[in-house]
Structure 1
Amino acid sequence: MCSFKLRPSKLSRYFCENLKIMQFKNTAEFAKKLDAQDKLASYKDEFIFPVINEKEVIYFTGNSLGLQPKRSQKYVNEIMNDWGGLAVEGHFKAEKPWWDYHERLAAPLAKVVGAKPEEVTVMNTLTVNLHLLMVSFYRPSAKRFKIICEEKAFPSDQYMLASQVRFHGFNPEEAIVEVKKRDGENHWHLEDILKTIEEVGDELALVLIGGVNYYNGQVFDIRTITEAGQKQGAFVGWDLAHAAGNIKLQLHNWGVDFAAWCSYKYMNSGPGNASGIFVNEKYLDRKDIPRFEGWWGTKKETRFLMEPEFEPMPNAEAWQISNAPVLSMAPYLASLSLFDEVNMDLLIEKSKLLTAYLEFVLHEIDVELGETTIFEIITPKDRGCQLSVFLHGQGKALFDYLMKNGVITDWREPNVIRLAPTPFYNSFEEMYRFGQILKQGILEN
């Protein structure tokens, strides 16, 4: 567990397991020194950065859309060339045949989410996949029909849950139980979630929570919540849109029933791109589980015999419906090749240090600007690489100033900016430079 203490001084002590104790300094020289020691520094050159004022931007919105890996175009061009040169024969005669293209993503993706390769596949998009997984894992009865989620979950999840509940003939106001934050606080307490699960008890059909909250960046205790929900006889699933490629996941070892995630945030696969799913191995190779089925989920060996009976694939591919959208899978495969080169432990190690340094820079600027606190970080210590910062006394003019000066960040009402220092392509020097631009923006606004 990583912890550090910040003091209102020019130096701050930082400690994290497996990392050296060091004294942070809010100087360009110190930031460059950290970059020189960074094992992942070279990967910054693997990505394409937008340019503002003839300079590459400082990009803080990998939690919304990751930057494009330079190698993505090669992967897409392979398919375009095969389409042009082979046409329909590309399904079987391309260098990476299209009919089993999705299989190439399973092994590297399993490493990222802590699963067995047979437990994951890529298909459709995130909310579509959550709907499809609900067919299997939300099977309400007259008594057991309630769903627990977090208060103000991502809107798409809210819409999805409410529509599923109505589809089964229940009232969302009665069936959906939201775990609220405590009055005056910006994060959830694990004990409140566990208490809610226990109180709903044998009426609970499903727990479905975002593994990392999109707004405040909080990481939930997936293992403990999963165990608690299953103890009550419910299924437990996770929306990992902001978790996949960001935090350490062990979906198989934690006994998660199912999960889904998009691929375009920390996994850099391109806007609106294909979604990954996880289905625990205990549900694989079974015909007694309800699914919406299509021919790409039927057994590979007999798929093109056009048999009338559905024979499910013995892995998560049984949940696939249509043939693989290879043009969208290509940039995902390109990005996964980067993750395959750099294991998640190394990415997370840098992420912790990078995020800690950014927080230090914010505190130092707060001190330099006077007694009144400007920056309130509402992200708790259980976090990935996102800091959500409440700007006291500042409005959207500051956000606009940052954008004009080459800092791409994210604004959320009422006056929160989300900063996601991504370990693949953000540097320590950028954290320092951002701090200087931010300070100047406050002084001018």
Structure 2
Amino acid sequence: MSGKTEVQALLRIINQATQDALAAYANSGEDVPSLSSVDETSVLTMANNLHLKRAVRLLEGACEQLCATLAPPGQSIVDRSQTPVSNCLRAATHAGIADVLRGHPEGMHVKDLSLLVKIDEGKLCRILRTLATRHCFKEVDVDTFANNRLSVALLKNSPIMNLADLYATEVGNGGNVLYEHLSDPRSNGSYHPAKSPLMYALKGPGNETVGFFDWLRSTPDREKNFNTGMTGVGTLMGSLALLEGLPWGKISTVCDIGSGVGAYAIPLVQQNVNLKYTLCDMPATIDQAREVWTKEFPSAVESGKVAFSYLNFFEEVAPAGQDIYYMRAILHSWTDDQALGILNNIRAAMKRTSRVFIHDHLIQSSARVKNVTAHAQLGVDTAPEPMLPNFGSGKKRTFNMDMSMLITCNSKERTLPEMITLGRRAGLKLVKVWDLVETSIVELEFE
């Protein structure tokens, strides 16, 4: 396929995906949003609409590939090497700029804003203009800025703000020494959690003695940011409620392993009156979960539709005989041997008809070869030509998450073959893959 033919094909994909996105809004009874909107509910509106997410995945991948094809290579490389946007975003979140502008829909001049956030006027203006150029905040007049559709996600009451801070701070710090970590023989070949690039940056070469989660527990403010940020991850990942075609009428029990507070499961429990949902995590987390559910869905707690169970998934067998054992963003934090230990403790509790649902990002190769495209038969979506089969930038958050796991935990997101191999080691076999666009759920059963 010639370069011109590829460009024309990409344009057709972009046009069709745009129409599909417009249709997703129309079919949901929602207006197409304006970038100028400061409606705070828009952060979650359509966040779980799979039709929209599929269309946007195509748009992101095809548009990026179109620009990479037509732009001079040097321009594209420089774009990929720069981190100022992340730095500016971190400054904006820590200064609470979105919250200050919340009370000024008409906008605020940087001269006045700088006094409130205690950042030099000239530097603040450059930070905000850099972000506004990427459609985060809006410059309504020269040197006068207001919130917009993207910046309202940076309000202090939005967990997306905490997630952005996690990426810009911890992942950014570890990423800055990624090459040094890789070139140091003490850490290059190690997958020990304490030997991550982030610990290399925080503790210094040769002094890495604790892993990311132990470090968090010793740093309460960052642990709080992380825990809230994981709620933000939930808005991107979706939940079991998105599985179209799962026979919920025949499913009576779900056990959520490493559930956190599990607030994402509230809609699922509300929709299925005969479902009992058990949250399993460490004591402090489960105690917090009980408080959240008692506040948000008290009737489920009172009736026993939701149960709370203390569980160390490395050392203890999960509650017995559940229909579904569900893990969301759990296995990607651990080595294969650690993940195998978790799966073994689940398998020991399973009945013959139980299923395991592993909800993580699924890594796909960018090579258009048969053993990659054949994954479509198992439920993995594949992009049309001439796009990369893994959707390229349409899946950038998946590959960014994979690198984030390397940087923070020395762990990884897995490919489908790696998931299948891990399952077999635990005596489980693949049933199918549920592609949820941003993430995937790998369904396993007894071998």
TM-score range, shorter chain: under 0.3
Q: TM-score, normalised by structure 1?
A: 0.27
More helix by share: 2
Q: TM-score, normalised by structure 2?
A: 0.27
Q: Pick 1 or 2: higher relative contact order, CA cutoff 8 A, min separation 6.
A: 1
